Amino acid sequence: MNGQKIAVYVCNCGTNIGGKVDVDEVVKWAEKQPGVAVARGYKYMCSDPGQGLIQSDIKEHGIDRVVVAACSPTMHEPTFRKACADGGLNPYLCQMANIREHCSWVTEDPEAATAKTKRIINAQIHRLPWNEPLNPIEVPVNPDVLVVGGGIAGIEAALKLSATGKKVYLVEKDPSIGGHMAMFDKTFPTLDCAACILTPKMSAAGKDPNIEMLAYSEVTQVDGYVGNFKVKVKKKARYVDIDKCTGCGACQEVCVVRKVKSEFDVGLGYRSAIYIPFPQAVPLRATIDPVKCLTLSKGKCAKQPCVPACGPEAIDFAQQDEYLDIEVGAIIMATGFELWDAAEEQRYGYGRLDNVITSLEFERLSNASGPTGGHITCKNGEAPKSVAILHCVGSRDENYQEFCSRVCCMYSLKFAHLIKEHLPEAEVYQLYIDMRTYGKGYEEFYKRLMDEGVHFVRGRAAEVSEVALSPEEEGHLVVKAEDTLLGITRRLPVDMVILSAGLAPRKDAKAVSQVFGFGCSANGFFLERHPKLEPVSTITDGIFIAGCCQYPKDIPDTVAQAGAAAAGALALVDNPTVKVEPTISYIDPEKCAGCHICVNICPHAAINWNDDQGVAEVIEAACKGCGVCVAACGSNVPQQRGYLDSQIFAEIEGAMAL
């Protein structure tokens, strides 16, 4: 059989391997092994000259199997396989032997390391004759892309993709795109008005001929695999015909149900049962809330004033949810965040004490288009004379969220500035542990705030109380904290307390990740494929993530990540096909008994039941080569190419032979 001309390369990897393993001895030993034609030691096999060694040996010595004893295959299997391919040898006839992570790095004993190195290499020498040439499988790629989430991340990704001519489906669960950024007042560090910089992008996305806007919609099911995703989208009924509605807003003025807490105003303001969430909404269309609308929930709104008020006659109480089936080649998740619920920490009194508000609530108070017309006021309508801004609420805290939420120091400083701008006479206190102003222009922003006369107190607030212990405290909220730089406990009487709560993963993040088929990290955010090198990919080929759904971040980083995700998606869908690893399962139809076990057990839904032939069939592009079907089959029928039983047993024999 083939495989009589094996080349063994033993890498020193500098001193990583060479410092512990006696490479010369191993090479001498390898030369003597049956089937080995060439054995070499080298300092850095992954380098160009190192790879060159393999290629010249293939040419000059007719090598037909290669073992590279070096680091982990995770590091360099693709490198060496490509080197072989470029040298004219099928890449699947090359195996790595991990003598670093599995050997030199896990022992202090050179003798033991050298002995184990020989065993590890011997395993591959025995295996290689059983390797067969394999060719990658090419599957066609659908050029369309799905972006889930219409905040700044989703909008940016959609616009970038559209600019390259790709068709993008933009799915957003709320009636309008814009996300959290649309709610903000000014943005740090430039103090641009959020709406002013966001709405042009929203508008562009709304008008873009390549972007199919699916607002007030949700993804309910995802099937398929990279390049070929089949997605079911539920377009929720607005009970308004969006083709007729002009967004004039006449309906919401006349609706009889006026006091519904507005989600956009974080409950500080009201909307009607039929509503347009905010004036710059895209799409600018009305939506009826089926829970609050009297007609839809109880069947009794005597007047239904919205109907006659609507000129284009767009109201349609009989409207149903619509389901859409779309096919895309790549998916970008940009579902954003939720604000951590400050009511969990009762020592700050959120929900119990008047005038203790969260950061998002403050954004709405300060915003000129907010419920108070941009006037920062206490519950009694008067402007506060003193405000305390408390950092790290729910963050950096083992009891709640352990991680630092990145943006809160900056937005807290921003709030201080906005308060000083609206109310120049107000005293503003910032209670912080560390000032995390790391970004471009951020430290300068911090200095600016120091110039504005904000009182910085280094100490995490212990509690907010309404109990006055002295006349100065009567009628005020009292923030108790240790001023750690002075080492004294201070009681600060203020009129308003802003809780800088952290960004949290959305409550449905885990459920959503399961619909799409990727994972979440321990802190609940979507999990990236590699924290440094692959921050916008997920473990599932073809699915990308961007923005705060991956981890809290500011707008500049969100926009950058959205662009990166768009580039990742584009790299995939801009090609007519994508190559899929051939180390996948194969079921011999002659041997399959038709018991269905593998069909049911496959975690990637990659095995089909072929009714005509009465056998199970692998969907090649969907198979991830996990090996579960191989293990589960009672008749030992499915075989994983590249990991055949013959190969595995040979490897075991080789390892045990020494």
What residues line the site for other proteins (CB under 8 A)?
346-347, 352, 392, 396-399, 433-434, 458-463, 465-467, 469, 480-484, 487-489
Nearer to other proteins, 24 or 434 (CB): 434
> Nearest 5°: phi and psi at 434?
-135, 150
Task: Find the shortest distance in angstroms from Cβ 489 to other proteins.
Answer: 5
The two structure tokens encoding residue 638: 């499915």
Q: Are 606 and 613 contacting, i.e. CB atoms less than 8 angstroms apart?
A: no
Nearer to other proteins, 16 or 437 (CB): 437
Task: Find the shortest distance in angstroms from Cβ 431 to other proteins.
Answer: 9
How far is Cα 141 from Cα 239, in angstroms, rounded to an integer?
36
Indicate the SS3 state at residue 163.
Answer: helix
Nearer to other proteins, 459 or 542 (CB): 459
Q: Which residues contact 607 (CB under 8 A, 6 or more apart)?
A: 585, 587, 598, 599, 616, 617, 618, 619, 623, 629
Task: Find the shortest distance in angstroms from Cβ 435 to other proteins.
Answer: 13
The two structure tokens encoding residue 483: 């001023």
Nearer to other proteins, 241 or 463 (CB): 463
Task: Find the shortest distance in angstroms from Cβ 459 to other proteins.
Answer: 4
Nearer to other proteins, 291 or 488 (CB): 488
Nearer to other proteins, 212 or 463 (CB): 463
Nearer to other proteins, 352 or 455 (CB): 352
> Nearest 5°: phi and psi at 295?
-65, -50
Task: Find the shortest distance in angstroms from Cβ 445 to other proteins.
Answer: 23
How far is Cα 495 from Cα 431, in angstroms, rounded to an integer?
15
Nearer to other proteins, 478 or 572 (CB): 478
Pick from 393, 388, 378: which is nearest to 429 by CA? 388
Task: Find the shortest distance in angstroms from Cβ 39 to other proteins.
Answer: 50
How far is Cα 564 from Cα 160, in angstroms, rounded to an integer?
10
Nearer to other proteins, 256 or 433 (CB): 433
Helix (H) or strand (E) holding 421: helix 408-422
Task: Find the shortest distance in angstroms from Cβ 501 to other proteins.
Answer: 14
Q: Are 129 and 2 contacting, i.e. CB atoms less than 8 angstroms apart?
A: yes
Task: Find the shortest distance in angstroms from Cβ 345 to other proteins.
Answer: 8
Task: Find the shortest distance in angstroms from Cβ 468 to other proteins.
Answer: 8
Other beta carbons within 10 angstroms of residue 447's beta carbon come to 11
Measured N-to-C along each axis, helices 359-366 and 408-422 cross at an angle, to the nearest 10 degrees, of 30
Task: Find the shortest distance in angstroms from Cβ 484 to other proteins.
Answer: 4
Measured N-to-C along each axis, helices 442-451 and 408-422 cross at an angle, to the nearest 10 degrees, of 40
Nearer to other proteins, 42 or 340 (CB): 340
How far is Cα 87 from Cα 75, in angstroms, rounded to an integer?
20
Q: Are 275 and 285 contacting, i.e. CB atoms less than 8 angstroms apart?
A: no
Q: Which residues contact 83 (CB under 8 A, 6 or more apart)?
A: 51, 54, 55, 94
The two structure tokens encoding residue 434: 């560390």
One-letter amino acid of 657: A
Our CA dihedral for 207, 211, 213, 218, rounded to 10 degrees, sits at -160
The two structure tokens encoding residue 523: 């802190």
Nearer to other proteins, 38 or 481 (CB): 481
Q: Are 435 and 446 contacting, i.e. CB atoms less than 8 angstroms apart?
A: yes
Task: Find the shortest distance in angstroms from Cβ 500 to other proteins.
Answer: 14
Task: Find the shortest distance in angstroms from Cβ 490 to other proteins.
Answer: 8
Q: Are 274 and 293 contacting, i.e. CB atoms less than 8 angstroms apart?
A: yes
Task: Find the shortest distance in angstroms from Cβ 347 to other proteins.
Answer: 5
Task: Find the shortest distance in angstroms from Cβ 641 to other proteins.
Answer: 49
Nearer to other proteins, 358 or 585 (CB): 358
The angle subtended at Cα 314 by Cα 312 and Cα 319, nearest 5°, is 165
Nearer to other proteins, 212 or 397 (CB): 397
Task: Find the shortest distance in angstroms from Cβ 437 to other proteins.
Answer: 17
Determine how β-strand 615-618 pairs with β-strand 607-610.
Answer: antiparallel
ω into 283 cis (within 30 of 0): yes
Give strand pairing partners of 501: 393
DSSP secondary structure code for residue 502 in this structure: P
Burial of 483 (0-12, 13-18, 19+ CB in 10 A): middle
Nearer to other proteins, 397 or 581 (CB): 397
Nearer to other proteins, 232 or 480 (CB): 480
How far is Cα 607 from Cα 584, in angstroms, rounded to an integer?
11
CA distances (Å), origin 350, targets 308, 342, 464, 468, 498? 43, 6, 9, 18, 10
